[in-house]
Chain A
Amino acid sequence: MAGCRIPLVLLACGSFNPITNQHMRLFEVARDHMHSTGKYNVLGGIISPVSDSYGKQGLAPAKHRIAMAKLALQTSDWIRVDEWESQQPDWTETVVTMRHHHNHILQKYRESTTTHNGNITATSNPSVQLKLLCGADFLDSFKTPGLWLDEHIEEVSGRFGLVCVSRGELLPERTVHESDILSRHRQNVFLVTEWVRNETSATEVRRALRRGASVKYLIPDPVLQYIQQHSLYTRDSEKRNEGTLLRPLTKQATNPESSMDD
């Protein structure tokens, strides 16, 4: 009964440096899974590339990463790229990005449901949810000291929820098990196995590009053309931010984010 399903939007945060077919697979696999639970109706997907201030080694300028993601998603009718996070002056905590998008979606959803009925919808209709879509390696990063604040992991997994698509060797079940916070919210941490082992990663794509090896069929053709036109991803570009600490490590060490702005 589609009417009782919880409307859901999936948000993926990350470098997307560059976007690959594997990133887009995450969305497809996650959507299928959430639909198959019988409880959710996936309305849309959002890709939110991180800002340049993240300081990760080899990170290409946001304007390029955004352009490539847009090219990749040209033919998708449900996933879109959002530039908000990349436009913020400093690196933005994932939880802050989630809050921003959730507010935005709630507003949009409220507007569209009132338009249809002419009056405010009945409270029995569930409110739209936003969940973080990620790979097992992202989930694993919760363990890295200084990268995440506990209260943020709490909010991401408790208030919002996670959909984690695994591949390769990493076992997300173990990551959840080994984290008290994630374990407490395990009902809200959806683990999806992608049985097709596909270790395509942006890191491998950049490595191949540096060496002049082909990455065709790992990334969409328009993205490949864009990379060639702009000569992105060379030995030099990989050295960008070399020796710099990741921004989360410096920002969160000295200035802990206060919880719940709204």
Chain B
Amino acid sequence: MDGTAVTKVVLLACGSFNPITNMHLRMFELARDHLEDSGYQVLQGIISPVGDGYKKKGLIEAKHRLEMARLASENSWITVDSWEGLQTDWVETAKVIRRYYNEKIAPEQNNDDVDTVKYGKKRRFEEYYVTSSSSMENRDGTRLMLLCGADVLESFGVPNLWKPEDIEEIVGFFGLVCITRAGSEPLKFIHQSDTLWKHRKNIHIVQEWVTNEISATHVRRALRRGRSVRYLLPDSVLNYIHDHHLYSEDSEQKNAGVVLAPFQRYSDASTS
């Protein structure tokens, strides 16, 4: 890596955001502080709420989740990308990252890329892709990293939730910024996985010393019970929830008994 050039990073957070909370927003702040401390320059933060096709229990319509995320991130360096949320079928996270990189980041690279002169066309993602981790060091240009909590990292171990090649791509090519939480041991988890361990330099663990467990699950539960969730999420999101009467006992029953899309897809594939 060029000693004088600062590596630029864009953070992408995938998830249900059902609803978005101050904890989600804090993740971006913590990640940015950590990366900039390590010498990176964080350009942007992107929220990409999952589509309804994910079929998670209690997942309300993407249009609401998108709007709440937009309200929450107004007047900040974080923005919302609606592509994933608007897809009918569930899209693998690796594909979401790849698509964002190709459409939004790769084109920008070509402005500095000396190869456009030589090749006269835009280089696509596949041409940037490298198959061995050692060449990671030589890769230049803006990096797109997946931002997540330690629970997502640990979900890599859940059978049929992630394709092994997707995990390899996410940590091998893109990079992961993982915010710890109480009760998780991300370093141990990395140590216990050969794939993760191979790409450990690409996995940035951010220690959250101030426990903050405002989970969306808790927020939904409080709302169902008529309890206040003020100050756990931005006022604008709270007002939206009340205006649209979101999160009731009924909404929590949505997709009850339905198999989560990744499980459905990967067990179908394995049985076919």
* Interface check B70, CB cutoff 8 A: no
Please state if B228 and A196 are interface contacts (CB–CB under 8 Å). no
What CA separation (Å) do A213 and B218 show in the bound complex? 27
Which secondary structure dominates where chain B touches chain A?
loop
- A 6-49 contacts with B by CB, 8 A: 21-22, 24-25, 28-29, 31-32
Please state if A217 and B26 are interface contacts (CB–CB under 8 Å). yes
* Interface check A104, CB cutoff 8 A: no
What CA separation (Å) do A32 and B231 show in the bound complex? 14
The listed residue (A24, A28, A75, A200) touching B212 by CB distance below 8 A is A200
A24-B230, A28-B231 known; A196+B213 contact, CB < 8 A: yes
Please state if A197 and B213 are interface contacts (CB–CB under 8 Å). yes
Interface core residue of A198, A199, A217 (most chain B CB under 10 Å): A217
Please state if B211 and A21 are interface contacts (CB–CB under 8 Å). no
Report the number of A-B residue pairs with Cβ-Cβ less than 8 Å: 57
Residue count of chain B within 8 Å CB distance of chain A: 24
Please state if A198 and B213 are interface contacts (CB–CB under 8 Å). yes
What CA separation (Å) do A223 and B228 show in the bound complex? 22
* Interface check A216, CB cutoff 8 A: yes
Give the chain A neighbours of B182 by CB distance below 8 A.
197
The listed residue (A198, A214, A218) touching B211 by CB distance below 8 A is A198
Please state if A25 and B26 are interface contacts (CB–CB under 8 Å). no
- A 197-230 contacts with B by CB, 8 A: 197-201, 204, 213-214, 216-218
Please state if B214 and A198 are interface contacts (CB–CB under 8 Å). yes
Give the chain B neighbours of A213 by CB distance below 8 A.
33
- B 93-120 contacts with A by CB, 8 A: none
Please state if B218 and A24 are interface contacts (CB–CB under 8 Å). no
A24-B230, A25-B231, A28-B231 known; A214+B33 contact, CB < 8 A: yes
Interface core residue of B29, B76, B210, B231 (most chain A CB under 10 Å): B231
Please state if B32 and A32 are interface contacts (CB–CB under 8 Å). no
Interface core residue of A31, A32, A196, A198 (most chain B CB under 10 Å): A196
Give the chain B neighbours of A198 by CB distance below 8 A.
211-214
* Interface check B215, CB cutoff 8 A: yes
Please state if B228 and A21 are interface contacts (CB–CB under 8 Å). no
Please state if B211 and A197 are interface contacts (CB–CB under 8 Å). yes
Q: B240 → chain A, closest Cβ, in Å?
A: 15
* Interface check B260, CB cutoff 8 A: no
What CA separation (Å) do A24 and B228 show in the bound complex? 11
Residue count of chain A within 8 Å CB distance of chain B: 23
What CA separation (Å) do A195 and B214 show in the bound complex? 9
- The closest CB in chain A to the CB of B26 belongs to A217
What CA separation (Å) do A198 and B229 show in the bound complex? 13
- The closest CB in chain A to the CB of B218 belongs to A196
- The closest CB in chain B to the CB of A22 belongs to B231
Please state if B215 and A199 are interface contacts (CB–CB under 8 Å). no
Give the chain B neighbours of A31 by CB distance below 8 A.
228
Please state if B210 and A21 are interface contacts (CB–CB under 8 Å). no
- The closest CB in chain B to the CB of A203 belongs to B210
Please state if B25 and A32 are interface contacts (CB–CB under 8 Å). no
Binary contact track B166-195/A, C-beta < 8 Å → 1, others 0: 000000000000000010000000000000
- The closest CB in chain A to the CB of B235 belongs to A75
Q: B38 → chain A, closest Cβ, in Å?
A: 13
5 A-B Cβ contacts within 8 A? A21-B232, A25-B230, A197-B212, A199-B212, A214-B29
User: Which residues of A pack against B, CB within 8 Å?
Assistant: 21-22, 24-25, 28-29, 31-32, 75, 168, 195-201, 204, 213-214, 216-218
User: Which residues of B pack against A, CB within 8 Å?
Assistant: 22, 25-26, 29-30, 32-33, 76, 182, 209-215, 218, 227-232, 235
19 additional A-B residue pairs with CB within 8 Å, beyond A198-B212, A217-B25: A25-B232, A31-B228, A32-B227, A196-B213, A196-B214, A197-B182, A197-B211, A197-B212, A197-B213, A198-B214, A199-B210, A199-B211, A199-B212, A200-B210, A204-B209, A214-B30, A216-B26, A216-B76, A218-B26
